[in-house]
Amino acid sequence: RKEVEQDPGPFNVPEGATVAFNCTYSNSASQSFFWYRQDCRKEPKLLMSVYSSGNEDGRFTAQLNRASQYISLLIRDSKLSDSATYLCVAANTGNQFYFGTGTSLTVIP
């Protein structure tokens, strides 16, 4: 079983739409969670951390549900520039991060 699992998509949404991604993690001892964004043929870049109480950064909202072991990312008012692959990450008690395979988003004009 993979440490982190995501729906690969693709998600194709019109500009201005709201879109949500979920991912699940298998290790209940995972301590930290992140969302990374990866553009085509580029390196992953940190989008936001995910805190237990949930957190928001502009149009982006991240939520953590420890009981069900999933995290989510909500993007409101989608922009063309949001088109990318979104990677879910769980960190265990060590320093290794476990990355999901990513969810592809295309925002359509």
10 in contact with other proteins (CB under 8 A): no
Which alpha helices (DSSP H) does the chain contain, by range?
none
Residue among 23, 64, 84, 87 that touches other proteins (CB under 8 A): 87
Binding mask 28-67 for other proteins (x = CB under 8 A): ---xx-x-x-----xxxxx--x------------------
101 binds other proteins (CB under 8 A): yes
Backbone angles phi, psi at 10, to 5 degrees: -80, 150
102 counts as binding other proteins under rule CB under 8 A: yes
The set of residues, in sequence order, having a beta carbon less than 8 Å from that of 12 and lying 6+ positions away, is 106, 108
CA–CA separation, 90 vs 109, rounded Å?
33
Look at residues 79, 67, 71 and name the one whose alpha carbon lies nearest to residue 17. Answer: 79
Q: Which residues are near other proteins by CB under 8 A? A: 31-32, 34, 36, 42-46, 49, 87, 89, 91, 94-102
